[in-house]
Every structure is written in C-alpha cells, then in structure tokens.
C-alpha cells in the first residue's frame, strides 16, 4: 500500500516489479526498502567517475556508432519487430536509443531526414 500510493497508475513496469517482489518474498517492496536502508552494507562503496579527455572524440564515436547501427539495418530491424510482435512505443525495449527514433519516423511523427541527427542527439543525452 505505501509503495502503491507513490506509483503512477500508468507505470506498469514499476507496478509489475512491486507485485513480483511481494509474490516472491511475501513482503511489500516498501518494507524491503526500509529494512535495507537501516542495515549497513557488508562492503564499502567507492565512487568512480570517468571523464573523457576530449568531448569531441566522444561525440565523433557516438556519431560513428549510430551511423553503423543504421548501416547494419536498424530501420529494417524495428520494422520486422513491429510486424512480428505486438509492440507499442511505451515498452521499455522500444524506448531505447535508436529504436525510439526509428519508431517515430515509421509512425510519421518525425521526418526521415532527421533520423540520424535525432539518434545522435539521444545518444549524447544518454552518455551524459
């Protein structure tokens, strides 16, 4: 009940996860979270950060990677998945970078000529 009050009705992924936890453990997810917060972890955390020395190199690699995805048949892959399975754009698998942008083009929500740039932009946002 405590967790349910904080979840959006439309958030099927988190609702399903909370139900799975309850079914497997017999305890609500909120109770498990509270008990874990009180217990000290059995190990020490070390924070690590990676910073690229030259962001232009990162941006070029992102552009090359997305171009390679397109050349390898990303658009055909999304089209095939849509024809084969009952998918919708709000599924976690269809919200990932690349698939989302191709889906929008295939649905006419974005022009084909912007696909590459939109994919690169989304990948850069993810890389932040």
Both 13 and 74 in one domain: the answer is no
Asked if residue 71 and residue 22 are part of one domain, the reply reads no
Q: What is this structure's pTM?
A: 0.65
| Residue 24, domain member (yes or no) | yes
Which structural domain range is residue 27 located in? 2-38
44, part of any domain: no
Q: Could you report the per-residue pLDDT of 26-60, keeping only the tens digit for each?
A: 988 888 877 766 767 788 889 998 887 888 999 99
Indicate whether 60 and 98 sit together in one domain: yes
Measured at the CA of 72, the angle between CA 66 and CA 74, to 5 degrees, comes to 70
How many structural domains comprise the chain? 2
Give residues with Cβ within 8 angstroms of 127, minimum separation 6.
Answer: 58, 62
Assess whether 72 and 32 both reside in one domain.
no
Per residue of the chain (128 residues), give pLDDT as tens: 677 788 888 888 888 888 998 899 998 888 887 776 676 778 888 999 888 788 899 999 999 999 999 999 999 999 999 999 999 999 989 999 999 999 999 999 999 999 999 999 999 999 87
CATH number at residue 80: 1.10.287.890
């Amino acid at each position: 009940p405590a967790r349910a009050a904080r979840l959006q009705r439309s958030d099927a992924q988190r609702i399903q996860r909370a139900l799975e936890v309850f079914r497997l453990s017999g305890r609500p997810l909120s109770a498990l979270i509270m008990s874990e917060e009180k217990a000290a972890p059995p190990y020490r955390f070390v924070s690590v950060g990676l910073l690229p020395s030259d962001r232009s190199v990162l941006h070029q690699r992102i552009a090359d990677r997305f171009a390679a995805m397109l050349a390898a048949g990303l658009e055909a892959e999304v089209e095939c998945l849509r024809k084969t399975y009952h998918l919708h754009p709000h599924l976690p698998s269809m919200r990932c970078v690349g698939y989302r942008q191709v889906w929008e083009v295939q649905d006419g929500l974005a022009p084909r000529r912007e696909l590459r740039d939109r994919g690169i932009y989304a990948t850069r946002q993810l890389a932040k």
